[in-house]
Structure 1
């Protein structure tokens, strides 16, 4: 007898046994020993089938759950990145607004009080070869910007315009060695000349200070406006040290600028000034 016929005969036999059990069960309370054995066998088979079905379902569902978890993780990662980008942009807008507010306050406050007419401009570029040499601003001849105009921030002197196009202008910073600013010690009116220092990290050097006039660290240096293209009275920096120059005829001082040239993003160009009262 082949395997197929044997399986078929076994199935038929089980069906007959179940039928006999159903017929003979009427009126009986307790099952016979063979019936109990068959019931136990079928219960075990049902439990095994249930467990096998649950296992197959878990095996099939596990890769799907991993796929869903991976997709959800990617969605959350993209959402976090998007929110971080929005937060960074919001922070940048806030900082820019704070800087522009300071410029606006200066334009409507000290600048007006001193008779200065100023135009705000943004820093569009810097000299890659010398960070403390020149900057490019996003205003030019079409905005009324001309060469030799003084460039400032609310904190102090930045430099002067040395070249212009219709839409941009190049500003020579006071930290450049080619720059020279006629200056005064504010407290004592001691004159001198402020120059940039080659190879320095944005520091200044005040020279030609008369050696018989009082100069000391902590004093403020401002533009003198005397025989100079720079507007008078613009803060430059603070004296940090004083010594005699190599000739012994003058004093010289190191000056820390008030403007942070590392973080220069917006400036004001002095486009005009009311004449001083006679």
Structure 2
């Protein structure tokens, strides 16, 4: 910058020093005096806009810094809250699962207690299931070292489930009554007409009562129970209810579609009948 000829750098520096001294004196003298001198007032008035501008800028910068700091703090708090909500939801799910398990186990225990004079039971949990054959064979967590043997009947409080077909030391294989290879001696409960209950290949979870004499009167809603024929299943165990009736292809017999009383879609725990004490008094059929 080029200064006018009549103004030298020395004069400019001297002016700056005088202004500085004036401001310094004003700062340390205005506290003890009630009224400012004309010169002090003039200088103070001329500098007040600049001072206000710097104060406004400083305040805005401070507010901006505080805003970004608060955003970071809120982000951390939001993250912590989400983690806590997730933990609480996990605890609620676990409590609901335990509640459902307690309800199921309570039903099994009540069933055992009610029929302890007829049968001896072993509680087993389903630990394996073939996704491609959902209504075929499942794996249980009880084996030969737990007293489980081949052909033992398996039930739930609602009705017959199937029978044990293979056993290892710690596990056993349960064939469901819905498996096409399954065959159960059964009969219509009210008319006592016998037949054979077999699984179907449709994967629907239903069963069929076949080899029923053609002149037999079958109606929807009739209950089917085990007949005791064959010796594997004790007589009178609830099996299911008729939902449809048809004639067999040979024309010599009738058949009925039977929906099992036991919920084979969602088996979790079952009762294995290890001993039959008194087969004369058997569980009532659902709805009786």
TM-score normalised over the length of structure 2 = 0.86
* CA 1:221–1:43: 2 relative to 1, 3 Å: same
Give the Å deviation of 1:154: 0.4
Cross-structure match for 2:191? 188
Alpha-carbon distance in structure 2 between the residues aligned to 1:173 and 1:23: 103
Give the Å deviation of 1:28: 8.4
Q: How does 1:96-135 map to 2 (within 5 A)?
A: 96-109=101-114, 111-112=115-116, 115-135=118-138
Once the two structures are overlaid, the 10-residue window that deviates more, 48-57 or 186-195, is 48-57
Give the Å deviation of 1:143: 0.9
Cross-structure match for 2:179? 176
Match of 1:74 among 51, 74, 79: 79
Give the Å deviation of 1:7: 6.1
Cross-structure match for 1:264? 267
Once the two structures are overlaid, the 10-residue window that deviates more, 161-170 or 13-22, is 13-22
Is 1:44–2:44 an aligned residue pair? no
Match of 1:232 among 219, 230, 235: 235
Once the two structures are overlaid, the 10-residue window that deviates more, 215-224 or 59-68, is 59-68
Alpha-carbon distance in structure 2 between the residues aligned to 1:53 and 1:35: 25
Could you tell me whether the CA contact under 8 Å between 2:119 and 2:278 is conserved in 1?
no
Unaligned runs of 5+ in 2: 1-7, 281-288
Match of 1:56 among 58, 61, 71: 61
Q: Secondary structure at the match of 2:187?
A: strand
Give the Å deviation of 1:27: 9.1
Q: Secondary structure at the match of 1:231?
A: coil
* CA 1:149–1:35: 2 relative to 1, 3 Å: same
Give the Å deviation of 1:65: 2.1
What count of residue pairs does the alignment treat as equivalent? 273
Cross-structure match for 2:19? 13
Give the Å deviation of 1:49: 2.7
Alpha-carbon distance in structure 1 between the residues aligned to 2:143 and 2:34: 110
Could you tell me whether the CA contact under 8 Å between 1:209 and 1:251 is conserved in 2?
yes
Is 1:214–2:210 an aligned residue pair? no
Alpha-carbon distance in structure 2 between the residues aligned to 1:55 and 1:95: 59
Cross-structure match for 1:139? 142
Alpha-carbon distance in structure 2 between the residues aligned to 1:84 and 1:182: 48
Q: Alpha carbon RMSD of aligned pairs, Å?
A: 2.7
Q: Secondary structure at the match of 1:129?
A: helix
Give the Å deviation of 1:144: 0.6
Q: Secondary structure at the match of 1:112?
A: coil
* CA 1:90–1:2: 2 relative to 1, 3 Å: farther
* CA 1:183–1:26: 2 relative to 1, 3 Å: closer
Alpha-carbon distance in structure 2 between the residues aligned to 1:97 and 1:193: 36
Could you tell me whether the CA contact under 8 Å between 1:176 and 1:196 is conserved in 2?
yes
Could you tell me whether the CA contact under 8 Å between 1:190 and 1:214 is conserved in 2?
no
Alpha-carbon distance in structure 2 between the residues aligned to 1:96 and 1:21: 81
* CA 1:134–1:29: 2 relative to 1, 3 Å: closer
Could you tell me whether the CA contact under 8 Å between 1:164 and 1:170 is conserved in 2?
yes
Give the Å deviation of 1:72: 1.3
Alpha-carbon distance in structure 2 between the residues aligned to 1:159 and 1:84: 37
* CA 1:10–1:165: 2 relative to 1, 3 Å: same
